[in-house]
Amino acid sequence: MLPNPSQKYAAFAPIQLPDRQWPDKTLTHAPRWLSTDLRDGNQALAEPMDIPRKLRFWEQLLKCGFKEIEVAFPSASETDFQFVRQLIEEQRIPDDVTIQVLTQARSDLIERTFAALDGVKSATVHLYNATAPLFRRLVFRQSQDDIIQLAVSATRQIRALCEANPNTQWRYEYSPETFCFTEPEFALQICEAVADVWEPSAARPMIINLPATVEVNTPNVYADQIEYFCRHFTRRHDVCISVHPHNDRGSGVASAELALLAGADRVEGCLFGNGERTGNVCLVTLAMNLYSQGIAPQLDFSDMKQVVERVEQCNQLPVHPRHPYAGKLAFTAFSGSHQDAIKKGFHAREQADSPRWEMPYLPVDPEDIGCSYEAVIRVNSQSGKSGAAWMLEQNHGLVLPRALQQDFSRHVQAKTDREGNEMTLSALWQLYRELYGPYPLAPRQLLDYRSESQADGELQLSARVQTAEGIVTLQGKGNGLLSAAAAAIASRFKMRLAIEDYHEHTLGRCSESRSAAYIRCSFKQGVSRWGTGIDNDVSRASLQALLNALPDGDAG
């Protein structure tokens, strides 16, 4: 890279709009959406879609609820032409959906475009020509007047062809391509000239689409350009203002959102941001951003995983795992403090009587878009106690006491640090069972027990335990079941132990639910250990937890 890039790259001059209004606006409703996956997205693929792929994508777009879909550049290829024919001839276009097709301002291409549309109920014909100084100079080698003439005469031809086919409800869209680096006055001038030919009205709908063909500045500058255009365009109230942001600077979504604040009515883009170079603006992100603010986006992504799969198949491109809302990792927390906050959030939600979503780190409820909570927390060496505890709670119903969470976390941390990878749920459960031994892996298995109250108020316990060496009988006395069991173990195995902590809960909500018990014992060396017992009977669960807390070598 250059030490002084200013010699090569000139800063883009922003528009002067000191009385801009858009910063004080907020988004309150969904815009009109146009999916250009089958046109702008398609033209950016190494292998453009064939008709079966296009049809699968088309069906998906209908399922998501798109009412305006740019389906092709019919004069570009036989595939695109035939695709449009097929949609029309097989009557695949629902009455409330309008297809859109793109054409250059070239007479033969316009003729071919109309041939493709023959017999369609309603359609938008979309004309573009580049208007920026660089393109005028380099690509077209034409003056401003020539460029206006190109757009105007193509519009005349399109109007005539529309009028010659009155059975179709026509809409017209004009794009001064490269709008975002066209002089604002010239963009206005050419759009005024085109609109003068089309004469937009409710009966003659027109869309002026103002693309950020290549992002060349920060989104606020694009918003200024859109506001300037909306304020000065004489037929503003007769046209729909559309935006078409690309993502060269990675700010396509912000550009679209600020452009909507600045007065745009409609957004063109692609699912998951496919499109030329770094892509068109991602319509999924835009829609879900609205949704997360309580605004119905008028698009349906209730089964996001299915949408991702279909789009990946059709585009033959992966959706990034960190793609907002849709990536495989979009709702996953590996790090300890995030997991802790999410776990607390879910617990608070269980108690809350409001439907309001208040969840640390998760801007929307994954369930709303068909995702389970399973992937929300995953455990590796960056995780803390809450992650592993959450996974055991969600999948095995164990609600570990805080001190046990801390104890288990130390073991998980040591293992993930040593092995350097993620711990799956089954690896986590296996480690838990090895450490704290819940049924059926326990090395000392309680077979049966009897307890009797004594005249002195104490309890006499007799318990049979299966060990590796055979059946052992334990006998002891104490002021409760556990103290009697501790005394029995101490006497049978000649060890000192004290019960330091005890917790229990039912697994599940019904009366037949099993119980889980957690016990921490300390031993003579000042070492303490946890054990877990699970049983239909809470006393058996407690006794088993105590047996599971014993160190391996000392008792058995």
Ligand X SMILES: CC(=O)SCCNC(=O)CCNC(=O)[C@H](O)C(C)(C)COP(=O)(O)OP(=O)(O)OC[C@H]1O[C@@H](n2cnc3c(N)ncnc32)[C@H](O)[C@@H]1OP(=O)(O)O
Ligand Y SMILES: CC(C)C(=O)C(=O)O
For ligand Y, what does the binding mask look like between residues 35 and 74, x meaning CB under 6 A? Answer: -----x----------------------------------
Sign of the CA dihedral running 134, 136, 137, 138: positive
* Beta carbons of 66 and 299 less than 8 angstroms apart: yes
Hey, what are 486's tokens?
């501790």
Residue written as token pair 């009557």: 91
Query: Least distance from C-beta 46 to ligand Y, angstroms?
Result: 18
Return the one option of ligand X, ligand Y, none that residue 105 interacts with (CB less than 5 to 8 A, by type). ligand X
Phi-psi category of 20—alpha, beta or left, where left has phi over 0 and alpha has psi -120 to 50?
A: beta
In the region spanning residues 289 to 318, those forming contacts with ligand Y, defined by CB under 6 A, are none
Residue 244 near ligand Y by CB under 6 A: yes
Q: Put residue 470 in one of left, alpha, beta given phi > 0 → left and psi -120 to 50 → alpha.
A: left
CB of 83 to ligand Y, least distance (A): 18
Spatial separation of the C-alpha atoms in residues 322 and 342, rounded to whole Å: 18
* Alpha-carbon gap, residue 248 to 535, rounded angstroms: 60
List the x/- string, 236-275, binding to ligand X by CB under 6 A.
----------------------------------------
Q: How far is CA 127 from CA 124, 213, 352, in A?
A: 10, 14, 54
Measured in degrees and rounded to the nearest 5, phi and psi for residue 423 equal -100, 120
x/- mask, ligand Y, residues 425-464, rule CB under 6 A, reads ----------------------------------------
385: burial class by Cβ within 10 Å (0-12, 13-18, 19+)?
buried
Q: Token pair for residue 395? A: 């999948």
Cβ proximity to ligand X, 85 vs 246, nearer residue? 246
CA separation for the pair 126, 38 (Å, rounded) = 14
Q: Please choose which of ligand X, ligand Y, none residue 220 contacts, taking the beta carbon within 5 to 8 angstroms, the exact cut-off set by kind.
A: none
Residues 203-242, interacting with ligand Y (CB under 6 A): 209, 211, 213
Q: Is 73 in the site for ligand X (CB under 6 A)?
A: yes
Q: Taking CB under 6 A as the rule, which mask of x and - marks residues 88-107 in contact with ligand X?
A: ----------------xxx-
Does residue 415 touch ligand X according to CB under 6 A?
no
Q: Can you state the angle between helices 107-117 and 78-89, rounded to 10 degrees?
A: 30
Q: Tell which residue, 78, 68, 59, 69, has the closest CA to residue 39.
A: 69
Binding residue for ligand X, selected from 76, 207, 256, 299, defined by CB under 6 A: 76
Report the residue from 209, 213, 289, 542 that binds ligand X according to the rule CB under 6 A.
213
Among ligand Y, ligand X, none, residue 244 binds (CB under 5-8 Å by kind):
ligand Y
For residues 164 to 193, the per-residue mask of contacts with ligand Y, x marking binding by CB under 6 A and - elsewhere, is -----------x-x----------------
* Footprint (CB under 6 A) of ligand Y, residues 116-155: 128
Distance CA 383, CA 412 (A): 9
**What is the binding site for ligand Y (CB under 6 A)?**
40, 102, 128, 175, 177, 209, 211, 213, 244, 246
